[in-house]
Amino acid sequence: MDQTPVPVPADEDGALTKLHPNYSHALRVRATLTAIPFLVGALVLEGAFRGEGLFPSGVIAGPVLLIALALIIRIPQTRYNARGYQMGADRLRVVRGLLFRSDTVVPFGRVQHIDVHQGPLDRFFGIATLTLHTAGNHNASVALPGLGEELARAMREDIRAHIRRETQ
């Protein structure tokens, strides 16, 4: 199969659609859940050293807590702002990334199947991830997290309808 890049058609404004606002809340909860083991580890380490009288209280756990709070408050919002998408008549464009930007265009004609996925946290916040699986080996799956659940299902049905029209 031909693996040549597909040119992105020029849009009238090129504006990206933002993801569902609950996505930033879900990212914040995930960051909090990731930080908890580090905080517990810092407290255990501090307790071990406190018994020996080597360090005053808070020397280890304090900085870990400050770093965790900074990451929980700042990183999720930055990640949320760095993502967006554009749904065209015959393609989906997904833009993501903070340090390494990725701008992926998926022509609907290459889509083999489509998934809408929700984990427990996604269900709680009413969001879902739309994943397009395409032919090929490089970027064969393109995921678009942070869509409202109804929107993700509607986008899946729109893409399926386009694929049906194209194959008839």
Give CA–CA dist 135/157, Å, rounded: 19
pLDDT of residue 54: 67
**Do residue 154 and residue 92 come from a single domain?**
yes
DSSP secondary structure string for all residues of 96-128: E-SSS-EEEEEEGGGEEEEEEE--HHHHHHTEE
Q: Which residues pair with 48 in a beta bridge?
A: none
Residue 11 lies in a domain: no
Structural domain of 29: 23-79
More confident residue, 13 or 10: 13
CA angle 108, 111, 113 (to 5 degrees): 130
Two structure tokens written together for 147 = 């869509």
pLDDT of residue 12: 41
**Do residue 31 and residue 68 come from a single domain?**
yes
**Do residue 93 and residue 145 come from a single domain?**
yes
**Do residue 27 and residue 74 come from a single domain?**
yes
For the four alpha carbons of 107, 86, 127 and 36, in that order, the dihedral sign comes to positive
Q: Residue 101 is part of a domain; what is its CATH number?
A: 2.30.29.30
pLDDT in tens, 94-144: 999 989 999 999 999 889 999 999 999 999 999 999 999 988 777 689 999
Residue type, 109: G
Residue 17 lies in a domain: no
Residue 11: closest CA among 129, 90, 109: 90
**Do residue 119 and residue 137 come from a single domain?**
yes
Q: What is the mean pLDDT of residues 137-152?
A: 90
- Domain boundary (37, 57, 79) is at 79
**Do residue 142 and residue 117 come from a single domain?**
yes
pLDDT in tens, 65-88: 999 999 999 999 999 999 999 999
Two structure tokens written together for 31 = 């960051």
**Do residue 57 and residue 91 come from a single domain?**
no
pTM above 0.85, yes or no: no
- Domain boundary (79, 94, 115) is at 79
More confident residue, 14 or 66: 66
Quick check: 87 and 155 in contact, CB under 8 A? yes
Residue 60 lies in a domain: yes
Overall number of domains in the chain: 2
Q: Exposed, middle or buried by CB within 10 Å (0-12, 13-18, 19+), for 19?
A: buried
Which residue is it, tokens 């908890």?
A: 36
**Do residue 48 and residue 119 come from a single domain?**
no
Give CA–CA dist 135/116, Å, rounded: 18
**Do residue 90 and residue 62 come from a single domain?**
no
pLDDT in tens, 36-61: 999 999 999 888 877 666 667 788 88
**Do residue 137 and residue 153 come from a single domain?**
yes
